[in-house]
Chain A
Amino acid sequence: MSRDLMMDATGNDERLAPTYGAGQHRLKAERESQILEVSIGPQHPSTHGVFRMDVKLDGERVVQLKPVFGYLHRNHEKIAENGSYLAAIPYTDRLDYLCSMTNNWGYTLAVETLAGITVPERAEYIRVIMAELTRFQNHAGLVGFLLQDMGASGTPLMYAFREREKILDLFEAVSGARMMCNYLRFGGVRVDCTPEWMKETRELVGVLPRFVDEFERLLRGNEILMARTQGVGVLPRELAVNAGVTGPMLRATGVNYDIRKVDRYGIYDRFKFRVPLGEHGDVYDRYMMRVLEMRESISILEQALKEIPEGPVQDPKTKLRGLRPKAGEAYGRIESPKGELGFYLISDGTMNPYRYRVRSPCLINLTILEDMCLGQSVADVVVTLGSVDIVMGEVDR
């Protein structure tokens, strides 16, 4: 059953052809009687939160899929606009609540760009260490959940969470909280890491490769995994670029675009690491991207822990309370584990940001969910959604 048979794309201008346009697909009228409408979510274990998909099915095949958002909407942007620049940091923790450290970094980077703040060297290293630990634990968790969605009940997820737990313990020891770290500040980080903490981290980074090896042995050659993921949810490269897909999802299609390499924000230009690239853009490639990125994160961690200098961790000239950046605007972006996390700030010279905007990778990566799922079966929709790696706190904001 080919997609073109059932769908009728309304393209008008030839130059606009790369727009595959969700919502431009129309069901053929004569088939409509056989179409079944199913609502997947918002309370569904495989939707990773309160996410709903209105799916139209022809038998087992998906002919239309409309994502429905907003169940976790709390107008994060308005809350931040009503508070001071400092008060927005704990709220950024709650965007993508698995990766609070990278969220903090995205926001502080935007404020630093806006106000021209410099960061001490040691703080930059600490940021890299925290970001890479976050990336590792996010990818470990995601891979666990993805396999859970495929039916590998429990085992891989528990193994992933066991390692994640060790990293969260490290976060707690330095920032005071396991998930809502609220650790980075514009102009540095809140507190310095103790030498004992550094030692513990070095020890942990030493054992993490064993976990990745085991994890790969557990499932790499697994025939069921391959059957469920290869050729499923294929995302064409051209569409991925046009739809603004970022992060491991984009790199799984073979586009070499990693903001750590492109923008070299922080001190990422000092580290040697490779950017894993996929080829087919299917679920299997996306799964492998995460596994390979975990290895690269370990390599960055090893370098950062070796080179980290002594020194202050907070720029003394920066006012944390009552920061008033000059009127203007700035866009700061980082490579969060899920993709490009950007913060757009407009200052009008007062204590509150005039406009505060989060460019959430999860929301924008969902733009092409329909295109990936059309013609697939319902079971594959679940796997495809799992491979996008969404956290509803960030999608709905």
Chain B
Amino acid sequence: MSAPELGAVGVDLSADALRALLVAAIEGCSVTVVENESPSGQRSLVLDHEHAVEAAIFLRDNSELRLDFCSNVTGVDWPDREVTEKVKVKKMVEGLEGATEQEVEETRKTLAPGYLEAVYHLFSMEKKHGPVILRLRTRDRAEGNHLPSLTPVWRSAEFQEREAFDLFGIVFDGHPDLRRILMWDEFADYPMRKDYVSPAEDEPVLDDGCLPGAEPGAEQGAADA
């Protein structure tokens, strides 16, 4: 994405370098690097909730980085998934010469808990570099769907965090105006989640009785009988 000569400015924007910078600058900050195997090679940083705002302010105000432009904010849904792995376990096996300890391969199925994720793409308008990708992960997909809001740091996140709240159900603590943005206020579900089931489309709603299949008055007749 970034043009070759932009790297020549001397700022190392690789995920590892940024991680080192953040850990050094903010006490107790835990940052994990997410690998990206695809040819794009855009790796990202997972921040912890407590230090996310601090880290964001650091990235924005650091005179070398100056990531003053938060371009894209979005949610991603990672539902619970079953992980099958083969584990070698030491077991006492009854053999001919009594019980011996042997290594046995076992298939274990574990449930990896799902979570919701907010992804921030940062660029710098001043230094003209980027992208730096930040991720924040919720504890789970039900009650623990809270994340710190970065809207106080980058105003551009305001509508996009509202959108992530609306479509994914991520609650951003500290957002000045967290309401539904695209769906109507009475809507209960979060349509962009992977397990969302839309109400049946072919249910005639308004033009009941006008559709060729539906017989007008059929329901009424049944009720009368």
Contact = CB atoms under 8 A, between A and B. Distances in A.
Please tell me whether chains A and B touch each other in their complex, using a CB distance cut-off of 8 A.
yes
B115 interface: no
Interface string A233-270: 00000010111111000000001010000111100010
B37 interface: yes
A19 interface: yes
B54 to A, nearest CB: 10
B36 interface: yes
Residue of B68, B69, B76, B163 ringed by the most chain A CB atoms within 10 A: B69
A24 B176 contact: yes
Interface string A179-208: 000000000000000000000000000000
Nearest to A371: B155
Interface of B is mostly: loop
B110 interface: no
A163 interface: no
Interface in A324-373: 325-333, 340, 342, 344, 346-347, 355, 357, 359, 363-364, 366-368
Contacts of A340: 71
Contact of A19 (B74, B133, B151, B167): B151
Given A22-B177, A344-B121, A244 B40 contact: no
A331 B183 contact: no
A162 interface: no
Contacts of A396: 182
Given A328-B37, A331-B72, A367-B158, A70 B184 contact: yes
A69 interface: yes
A385 interface: no
B139 interface: no
A7 B160 CA distance: 25
B211 interface: no
A242 B2 contact: no
Given A331-B1, A340-B71, A364 B192 contact: no
Interface string A73-116: 10101100000000000000000000000000000000001111
Interface stretch (A10-18, A126-134, A209-217, A274-282): A10-18
Contacts of A70: 180-184
Interface residues of B, number: 47
Contacts of B3: 262-264, 269
A141 B104 CA distance: 72
A357 B36 contact: no
Contacts of B180: 70
A159 interface: no
B182 A328 contact: no
Contact of A114 (B40, B72, B119, B131): B40
A312 interface: no
A354 to B, nearest CB: 8
Nearest to B2: A263
Interface in A1-55: 13, 15-16, 18-24
Contacts of A20: 155
B152 A328 contact: no
B76 A346 contact: yes
A258 to B, nearest CB: 10
A331 B192 contact: no
Contact of A364 (B42, B160, B167, B176): B160
Given A114-B40, A329-B42, A332-B1, A75 B191 contact: yes
Nearest to B160: A364
Contact of A21 (B44, B155, B156, B191): B155
A349 B100 CA distance: 44
Contacts of A16: 57, 152-153
B156 A114 contact: no
A110 B160 CA distance: 20
Contacts of A22: 158, 176-177
10 contacts: A19-B152, A22-B176, A113-B40, A244-B69, A257-B128, A325-B38, A327-B38, A330-B38, A340-B71, A367-B156
The 6 A-B residue pairs whose C-beta atoms are closest, nearest first, are A328-B38, A244-B156, A116-B39, A23-B177, A330-B40, A359-B72
